[in-house]
């Protein structure tokens, strides 16, 4: 008994020792901002000389505002579509790249390119490609006579939404691709050999060896990718600023406007807190579904 408690104690010490640098950073740079955000969400404030306590007023207001609910809906749809696109494209390409084909390095370099560009550049570039007068896309479509008149991509709600989702998938899939590629490398070769000995073809190898091996990587990727794209701001803001009207208005645009155009920081913080809880709820539900047992 004494020995096992000594082991437990040394485990405790070692474990805490290893995580302590990170914990310190997190306390200062994550805990503080989170609590700061929670705190100011209960005030009408400009953060310098006006602090009027309003309690939960902004929360009640937001949750009973149909515009806000609509915005959350738009953001959810946006995040789901982009993450799905990233997953499908990223995983498929990682699988393809992991085979013994020629020019593998060149192909990997090309396929990772979109991720290397800053959001700013991706947004502006695509906005210009979609431009009705000077844009490449309309030019290409009219040249092959698929359409007669240039399409006003950002004038129609559905088209604008699709254009924005497509641009974000363009930017977002390489991260998933890299993660899956690295994950594929850590699946031990002998499992494949065992499966082949049992007579499994490529499809079954994927189903029984590859996919289960990828599950830990994919699970966390999905949560984090969803959370990132749910909170996403820059590309949508620069392409459409939420328009036309509010067809592409994701919730971060609302928060940014309220904070930095209306200077109503308390209200913006309240919306940010709501977003936080939505992301939290999603990850709880998702973890239950995937049953990652280690934690």
Write the CA distances from 235 to 18, 168, 217, 249, integer angstroms: 37, 7, 26, 11
Q: Does 233 bind another protein (CB under 8 A)?
A: yes
When binding is defined by CB under 8 A, the residue of 76, 80, 84, 112 that contacts another protein is 112
Gyration radius from the chain CA atoms: 24
When binding is defined by CB under 8 A, the residue of 6, 14, 56, 211 that contacts another protein is 14
Q: How far is the CB of 2 from another protein (least distance, A)?
A: 18
Q: Does 162 bind another protein (CB under 8 A)?
A: no
Q: Does 294 bind another protein (CB under 8 A)?
A: yes
Q: How far is the CB of 6 from another protein (least distance, A)?
A: 14
For residue 43, the cross-strand partners are 53
Cβ within 8 Å of residue 151, ≥6 positions away: 132, 137, 138, 141, 159
| Cis peptide, bond prior to residue 244, ω within 30 of zero | yes
**Cα–Cα distance measured from residue 95 to residue 104, given in angstroms and rounded to the nearest whole number:** 12
Binding residues for another protein, rule CB under 8 A, total 142
Residues 20-79 close enough to bind another protein by CB under 8 A: 21-23, 25-40, 46-50
Under a CB-based contact definition with an 8 Å cutoff, are residues 176 and 90 in contact?
yes
Residues 253-272 close enough to bind another protein by CB under 8 A: 255-257, 259-265, 267-269, 272
When binding is defined by CB under 8 A, the residue of 98, 162, 204, 290 that contacts another protein is 98
Q: How far is the CB of 190 from another protein (least distance, A)?
A: 7
Total residue length of the chain: 295
When binding is defined by CB under 8 A, the residue of 76, 125, 159, 200 that contacts another protein is 125
Q: Does 197 bind another protein (CB under 8 A)?
A: no
Q: How far is the CB of 67 from another protein (least distance, A)?
A: 8
What's the CA angle centered on 76, arms 72 and 78, to 5 degrees? 115
When binding is defined by CB under 8 A, the residue of 80, 187, 200, 290 that contacts another protein is 187
Q: Does 217 bind another protein (CB under 8 A)?
A: yes
Residues 134-153 close enough to bind another protein by CB under 8 A: 134-136, 139, 142, 149-150, 152-153
Q: Which is nearer to another protein, 7 or 77 (CB)?
A: 7
Q: Does 159 bind another protein (CB under 8 A)?
A: no
Q: Does 285 bind another protein (CB under 8 A)?
A: no
**Cα–Cα distance measured from residue 90 to residue 94, given in angstroms and rounded to the nearest whole number:** 6
**Cα–Cα distance measured from residue 76 to residue 230, given in angstroms and rounded to the nearest whole number:** 7
* H/E element, 87: helix 66-97
Q: Which two tokens stand for residue 205?
A: 């190898």
């Amino acid at each position: 008994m004494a020995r096992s408690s000594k082991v437990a104690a040394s485990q405790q010490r070692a474990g805490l020792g290893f995580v302590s640098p990170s914990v310190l950073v997190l306390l200062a740079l994550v805990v503080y901002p989170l609590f700061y955000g929670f705190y100011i969400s209960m005030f009408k404030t400009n953060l310098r000389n006006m602090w009027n306590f309003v309690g939960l007023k902004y929360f009640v207001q937001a949750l009973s505002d149909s515009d806000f609910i609509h915005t959350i809906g738009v953001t959810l749809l946006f995040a789901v579509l982009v993450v799905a696109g990233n997953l499908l494209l990223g995983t498929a390409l990682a699988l393809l790249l992991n085979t013994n084909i020629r020019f593998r390095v060149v192909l990997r370099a090309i396929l990772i390119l979109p991720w290397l560009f800053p959001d700013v550049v991706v947004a502006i570039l695509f906005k210009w490609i979609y431009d009705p007068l000077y844009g490449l896309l309309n030019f290409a479509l009219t040249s092959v006579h698929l359409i007669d008149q240039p399409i006003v991509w950002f004038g129609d709600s559905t088209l604008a939404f699709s254009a924005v989702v497509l641009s974000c998938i363009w930017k977002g899939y390489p991260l998933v691709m890299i993660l899956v590629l690295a994950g594929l490398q850590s699946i031990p070769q002998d499992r494949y050999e065992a499966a082949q000995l049992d007579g499994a073809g490529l499809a079954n190898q994927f189903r029984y060896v590859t996919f289960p091996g990828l599950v830990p990587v994919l699970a966390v990727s999905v949560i984090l990718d969803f959370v990132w794209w749910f909170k996403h701001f820059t590309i949508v803001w620069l392409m459409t600023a939420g328009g036309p009207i509010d067809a592409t208005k994701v919730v971060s645009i609302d928060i940014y406007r309220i904070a930095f155009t209306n200077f109503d920081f308390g209200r913006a913080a309240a919306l940010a807190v709501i977003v936080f809880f939505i992301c939290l709820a999603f990850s709880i539900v998702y973890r239950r579904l995937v049953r990652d047992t280690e934690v």
